[in-house]
A and B are shown apart, each in its own frame.
Chain A
Amino acid sequence: MDIIDILLSALRGAFAPEAAVYALAAIGLNVHFGYTGLLNFGQVGFMLVGAYGLAISVSTFGWPMWVGVLVGLLCAAVLALLLGLPTLRLRGDYLAIVTIAAAEIMRLVYRAEFANDVTGSVYGLQQFANPFFELNPIPTGSYGVGRFSYSERDLWVMLLGWTLVAVVALMVYLLVHSPWGRVLKGIREDEDAVRALGKNVFGFKIQSLLIGGVIGGLAGVMFAIGFQSVQPDTFNPEITFFLWTVLLMGGAGRVLGPIVGAWMFWFLLVLMDTSLRQALSAGYISDSILSPSDIGPLRFAVVGLLLMLIMIYRPQGVLGSRREMLLRDR
């Protein structure tokens, strides 16, 4: 077992394209939950429509890639309205139920046989982001030290991904430090009080759901570009729960919370994965106890355990403020 090797792999995981996708999607969730108190349990649905908006536009309809990106974002916006308009006047749990159901229904519809001509059903769609990779100025090669290295393709995707994360985080920073953000935070605390002060609470909640959803859609688009491939079963409900993990670990209601959370989540996940694999191959763990195919699920179990520990010892997340958190139940 090589500790350095394991750490370098984990570090690689923390900044890999997937981490950028998770950071983006969790930023959207942060707008919903961290700043407005909306319970969205279907963020993966926004990613799905974003990713497929791009993939279908290009692969099925032959439209230019940039049109596909816009279509992806537009689909996320439409989804937000469809889910929000009927539910945001009702109690908070309605949104939770509707989002979780909608995300799962969409996955099933996109993978259905009858949708094959458009979505490619269970096989999905591939090769719709070629123009993006043709623009890659980075020479072929591997960059980094040891296991902490990326191909020129990865770097190019990461450059886009983390730039988007930075831009979106800046946007969220501006928003939550504005009077607009003040109203959202008020709604998070007590929407009736805010209503009594003359604010159109419903309108603000719709805006919040839209913005966070479109950011989720952007994460989906980013995912589709990075992997040049979409399959419906990538977008299963557990992604939403990983995103919640990311958000709560990093700190909800903090601009950088989801970003730090995504780094930590992927660092820990890859750390577990690599160390378990190495322990297995070095014979520290007998393969009568653990077979290589168990590692996938087990690493999530260990991350889940770590999340529990964080929630017990630092319930406000890494960046959250304890002083604020303690006020919640008063």
Chain B
Amino acid sequence: MSSPLSLFVPEPEVRPGGVPDFTNVHIAPAGEVGRPPVDIDPSEIRDMAFSIIRVLNRDGEAAGPWAGLLSDEQLIEGLHHMMLLRALDARMIIAQRQGKTSFYIQHLGEEAVSTAFRKVLKKGDMNFPTYRQAGLLIAEDYPLEAMINQIYANSEDPLKGRQLPTLYSVREQGFFTLSGNLATQFPQAVGWAMASAIKGETNIAAGWIGDGSTAESDFHAALVFASTFKAPVVLNVVNNQWAISTFQGIARGGVGTFAARGLGYGIPSLRVDGNDYLAVHAVGLWAAERARRNLGPTLIEYVTYRAGAHSTSDDPSAYRPKEESAAWPLGDPVIRLKAHLIAKGVWSESRHVQLEAEMLDTVIAAQKAAEANGTMHSDNRPSARDMFEGVYAEMPPHLRRQRQESGV
């Protein structure tokens, strides 16, 4: 006799109306996880997929073997970048409400991940990002005005109005053209890295994906190619706990952590505190070093929290408690780096307030400059002619005919 089966459908522990409780989330103290040599046998560090590498402790001190890689100047620069990204996001969300753009995606709470990782790459390396890694551009001092031109789809939009706002493409900054279709970039990153190896070059690639998108087949395809060909690639999973309204448990299933997905492929898989600028940088550097030394791929899970809405089309209060963000145990990346710099005696509350104002001014100035080129619904925007260009290297006759018919 067997009893009837029943279906298991995971649910987050709290929904709106409930009290967020993260006490069951095990967070290893800063400095606890060791730093193995980059050429270690992956089978010896399988436990790293279940722990969490952290550098900054509660008192703002840097602790353990992953600390000490960045100078004070570099850390202050990192703070700059995170705050600039945050200021840009805040202004662009307002701009969207004002009708200057149709859509925006922000990074609130996740600023450390992309800004710190960018610093481990070199010129010629290539990122295959998602829409939530604009920090890769900010940390390379890509002009804000160019980003806003794209967001506004104005006459100076480098992508000529063809792409949804924030889906940038900046080859010379190592930023691959963004797709709206999730996960497609992950195997592409592996392929770019394989080409680098085939050609005997020294450049590496970095793939990016969200927690939810790891459910796509493309994620697994990327891992098998990376594993088989030992591609010089860093495979970054940004676990911000949410995929629109869907909590990370739906994509993670029974595996425990996203990092653990890499173990079945024999890929060294590390889990890191994504709200810790120093830890993100240190782990990224370790993985980049492995790739550069032809030791193959590394999978990194960044544990962070999407503190804002998914996009300007989303209202998270419909599916998670408003208080959840504040209760998140890994804190805020800007506040944590600020506390660290103050603890080191190289920063102060007043300098921080001043920098905040400066970052806002910088964004406003770029915004003004971009607005002179038009906004979403103004007259100076990309032309209908631009719509027909660039489908092919050379416009075929049928498209030429259609363009003529359209009268542009």
Query: Is B a genuine binding partner of A?
Result: no
Which positions in B face A, CB cutoff 8 Å?
A: none
